[in-house]
Amino acid sequence: MTEDYITMNRSDNVLIIGAGLAGMKAGLLLAHAGKKVYLVESLPLIGGKVIKNEESFPNLECSTCMVAPVQQDVLQNPNIETLTHSAVEKIEGEAGNFRAVIKKSARYVSMTDCIGCGMCFDPCPVSLKNAWEEDLGERKAIYVPCAGALPNVPVIDPDQCLQLNGQQECSACADSCMFGAIKLDDKDETIEVDIGAVIISTGAETFDASKLPELGYGKYPGVYTPFEFERLFASNGPTLGELTIRDSEKTPGKIAIIHCVGRQQVGYCSSVCCMYSLKFAHFIKSKLPDAEIFNIHSDICLPDKNYQKFFNKVKESDTTLIYSPSPEESKVSQNGSGLKVVYTGADGKEQHVEADMVILSGAVIPHPEGSSVATIAGLNLDSYGFFEAGKDDIGSVHTSREGVFVAGSAEGPKDIQSSVIQAESAAGQVMICLGEVNR
């Protein structure tokens, strides 16, 4: 801590880390109340995990249609400064009077000059796997993560760009941009901002299925993680929504969806996997009406008034439910040109189904960057690795540090509804934290 800012006035600004639905919703509320919001997102686009899904349960609403207006509102809100491709490096001070250091990584494309036409992609000679598309598709060294990304401004990957990594001279993208938007000499920038409160909304990830080698992830091309499947199904995804097995043109005839993968390892039920697994069954049936689908499950967790209706519908017309006391202990193996899933049946004996495609419904786990964010922000994590909230209280978005709040799946696995609720709750608590003026 340095002396000079301790004596400064309390700040009314708010720092939000993570621009998923939770971060965006909280930001919009606070901006509406006239607070200046710094919304920091590590990826080049905002929207979080929900925009990876074509449709969201339980109403199977188009996710983009649901999220895009929120993204637009955020980007056009004069009180919100959205800092994509950025990272918070330091948070010092105390509630009402923090100072944060934010590093804005060079994007190499001007946010003000670029109009998002995409003319710069084709000329780029470098192609590689697109991590945002779960490596199922390709991108160039200059790219937007997916069609429809917001902000619709590309970014250059400095490790891959021939000019920037020094492999050879290249300015193909810059030459093709009619707007002079590409700045190959762009530099990282560090800014310091005064803030009164912080909201952590860094979201979550899914269980690394390769930790359970018997499930064959990484070994068999037909085995998918949940987000791989979301992208495979998405009409703006790498196959434009065509359900073909990785590295082949083959359409799967039989699909096994294995629930609860990693549940025993992480020690909790993730509350969304049953629902997204049922959603997957429904997705597949809608595109491949002749497909045979099996949901191998243990408990079925349907924690909302509208969820069982969806379950009933999927059970009725889309899938065969198979009960196994321990689906995550199933074994996936090669079986001719397809796969075989061996699981423990209701009677405790081994059973099996044949499948061309296996989807591993992995547990929701803390975001891998969570612990470094916790260190930077001086926060405790709970025993599972999520941000600890409300230690001696119930129903609290207060973290272990006063003036710092948590919302959404950064606090634990949850569906969109609960993430939005926590975001609105955090916004309210920030209003209270920033002063009595409003009450």
Ligand X SMILES: Cc1cc2nc3c(=O)[nH]c(=O)nc-3n(C[C@H](O)[C@H](O)[C@H](O)COP(=O)(O)OP(=O)(O)OC[C@H]3O[C@@H](n4cnc5c(N)ncnc54)[C@H](O)[C@@H]3O)c2cc1C
Indicate the residue type of 182: I
- Does position 147 interact with ligand SF4 (CB under 6 A)? The reply is no
- Does position 32 interact with other proteins (CB under 8 A)? The reply is yes
Closest CA to 29 of 432, 437, 436, 373: 432
User: DSSP of 137-186, one letter per residue?
Assistant: SEEESEE-SSTT-SS---EE-TTT-TTTTTSS---HHHHH-TT--B-TT-
- Does position 48 interact with other proteins (CB under 8 A)? The reply is no
- Does position 274 interact with ligand SF4 (CB under 6 A)? The reply is no
> Are the C-beta atoms of residues 131 and 137 closer than 8 Å to each other?
no
29 binds, options ligand SF4, ligand X, other proteins, none, Cβ within 5 to 8 A by partner type: other proteins
Q: Which residues contact 410 (CB under 8 A, 6 or more apart)?
A: 18, 22, 200, 201, 202, 203, 204, 366, 367, 370, 386, 387
Q: Which stretch, 84-92, 154-162, 338-346, 376-384, contacts ligand SF4 (CB under 6 A)?
A: 154-162
Q: Which residues contact 230 (CB under 8 A, 6 or more apart)?
A: 52, 53, 54, 237
Cβ closest to ligand SF4, residue 5 vs residue 121: 121
Indicate the residue type of 348: G
- Does position 198 interact with ligand X (CB under 6 A)? The reply is no
53 binds, options other proteins, ligand X, ligand SF4, none, Cβ within 5 to 8 A by partner type: ligand X
107 vs 350: CA distance, rounded Å = 53
Q: Which stretch, 141-149, 203-211, 283-291, 317-325, contacts ligand X (CB under 6 A)?
A: 203-211
The alpha carbon torsion through 139, 142, 144, 150 (nearest 10 deg) reads 180
User: What H or E segment, with its residue span, contains residue 419?
Assistant: helix 416-433
Q: What residues numbered 182-201 form the site for ligand SF4, per CB under 6 A? A: 182
22 binds, options ligand X, ligand SF4, other proteins, none, Cβ within 5 to 8 A by partner type: ligand X
118 binds, options ligand X, ligand SF4, other proteins, none, Cβ within 5 to 8 A by partner type: ligand SF4
> Are the C-beta atoms of residues 293 and 396 closer than 8 Å to each other?
no
Taking residues 275 to 314 in sequence order and writing x for each that binds ligand X by CB under 6 A, - otherwise, the string is -x--x-----------------------------------
Cβ closest to ligand X, residue 174 vs residue 200: 200
Taking residues 257 to 286 in sequence order and writing x for each that binds other proteins by CB under 8 A, - otherwise, the string is ------x---xxx-x---------------
17 vs 404: CA distance, rounded Å = 11
- Name which position in 64, 71, 206, 399 contacts ligand X (CB under 6 A): 206
Cβ closest to ligand X, residue 100 vs residue 182: 100
- Does position 111 interact with ligand SF4 (CB under 6 A)? The reply is no
Shortest distance (Å) from residue 178 CB to ligand SF4 = 7
- Does position 222 interact with ligand X (CB under 6 A)? The reply is no
Q: Which stretch, 191-199, 205-213, 235-243, 395-403, contacts other proteins (CB under 8 A)?
A: 395-403
Sheet architecture: strand order including 197-200: 80-83, 37-40, 14-17, 197-200, 404-406
- The two beta strands, 97-104 and 223-224, are unpaired
Q: Which stretch, 118-126, 202-210, 219-227, 241-249, contacts ligand SF4 (CB under 6 A)?
A: 118-126
> Are the C-beta atoms of residues 116 and 74 closer than 8 Å to each other?
no
- The SS3 call for residue 416 is helix
124 binds, options other proteins, ligand SF4, ligand X, none, Cβ within 5 to 8 A by partner type: ligand SF4
184 vs 164: CA distance, rounded Å = 7
The two tokens of residue 4 are 């000079």
- Does position 146 interact with other proteins (CB under 8 A)? The reply is no
The alpha carbon torsion through 216, 221, 227, 230 (nearest 10 deg) reads -130
364 binds, options ligand X, ligand SF4, other proteins, none, Cβ within 5 to 8 A by partner type: ligand X
- Does position 123 interact with ligand SF4 (CB under 6 A)? The reply is yes
326 vs 424: CA distance, rounded Å = 37
Q: What residues numbered 81-110 form the site for ligand SF4, per CB under 6 A? A: 109
- Does position 415 interact with other proteins (CB under 8 A)? The reply is yes
231 vs 135: CA distance, rounded Å = 10
182 binds, options other proteins, ligand SF4, ligand X, none, Cβ within 5 to 8 A by partner type: ligand SF4
Residues lying near ligand X in the complex (CB under 6 A) are found at: 17-23, 40-43, 48-50, 53, 56-57, 87, 201-204, 206, 226-227, 230, 272, 276, 279, 364, 367, 369, 373, 408-410, 414-416, 419
Residues lying near ligand SF4 in the complex (CB under 6 A) are found at: 109, 114-120, 123-126, 141-142, 154, 156, 161-163, 170-173, 176-177, 179, 181-182
